[in-house]
Structure 1
Amino acid sequence: MTTFSTAEREVLHRVLRARRDMRHFLPEPVAPEALRRILEAAHSAPSVGYMQPWRFIRITDMRLRAELHDHVAEEQRRTAEACGARAAEVQRLKLEGLRDCSELIAVTLCDGRERYVLGRRTMPEMDLCSAACAIQNMWLAARAENLGMGWVSLFDPDVVGELLQMPRDARTIALLCLGPVPAFYTEPMLERAGWDCRRSLDTLISENHWPQEGAA
Structure 2
Amino acid sequence: MNKFTSENIETLEQIILARRDVRGNRFINKSISKADLDKILFAGVNAPSVGFSQPWEFVIIKDLEIRNKVKDSFFEENEKAKTFFEGNRIDVYTQLKLEGIVESALNIAVFYKPSEHPVLGQTAMKETGVYSVVCAIQNMWLMARALNIGLGWVSILNPDTIKTILKVPKDRQLIGYLCLGHVDEFYENPELERLQWEKRKNITDVVIKETY
TM range (shorter): over 0.9
Cα deviations by residue, 1:173-193 (Å, 9 ceiling, x for unpaired): 111111100000111111112
Whole-angstrom distance in 2 between the partners of 1:116 and 1:2: 35
Whole-angstrom distance in 1 between the partners of 2:170 and 2:86: 33
Structure 2 counterpart of 1:38, from 40, 58, 70: 40
- Structure 2 unmatched runs, 5+: none
Matched residue, 2:2: 2
Q: How does 1:148-159 map to 2 (within 5 A)?
A: 148-159=150-161
Matched residue, 2:143: 141
Superposition RMSD on alpha carbons, in Å? Answer: 1.2
SS at match of 1:172: strand
Which residue type is aligned with residue 99 of structure 1? V
Whole-angstrom distance in 2 between the partners of 1:152 and 1:36: 21
Contact 1:105 1:177 in 2 (8 A): yes
Paired positions, count: 209
Matched residue, 2:188: 186
Structure 2 counterpart of 1:77, from 57, 60, 79: 79
What's the offset of the Cα at 1:171?
1.3
Contact 1:51 1:116 in 2 (8 A): no
Whole-angstrom distance in 2 between the partners of 1:114 and 1:2: 37
SS at match of 1:34: helix
Contact 1:80 1:88 in 2 (8 A): no
Which residue type is aligned with residue 83 of structure 2? E
Q: How does 1:100-119 map to 2 (within 5 A)?
A: 100-110=103-113, 112-113=114-115, 115-119=117-121
Question: What is the TM-score of this pair, normalised by structure 1?
Answer: 0.93
Whole-angstrom distance in 1 between the partners of 2:116 and 2:187: 40
Which residue type is aligned with residue 59 of structure 1? I
Q: How does 1:47-86 map to 2 (within 5 A)?
A: 47-85=49-87, 86=89
Whole-angstrom distance in 1 between the partners of 2:142 and 2:125: 27
Matched residue, 2:125: 123
Whole-angstrom distance in 2 between the partners of 1:51 and 1:91: 41
Contact 1:49 1:116 in 2 (8 A): no
What's the offset of the Cα at 1:34?
0.5
Q: Which runs of 4+ in 1 moved over 4 A?
A: none
Whole-angstrom distance in 2 between the partners of 1:57 and 1:196: 32
Question: What is the TM-score of this pair, normalised by structure 2?
Answer: 0.94
Which residue type is aligned with residue 151 of structure 2? M
Contact 1:102 1:178 in 2 (8 A): yes
What's the offset of the Cα at 1:114?
5.1
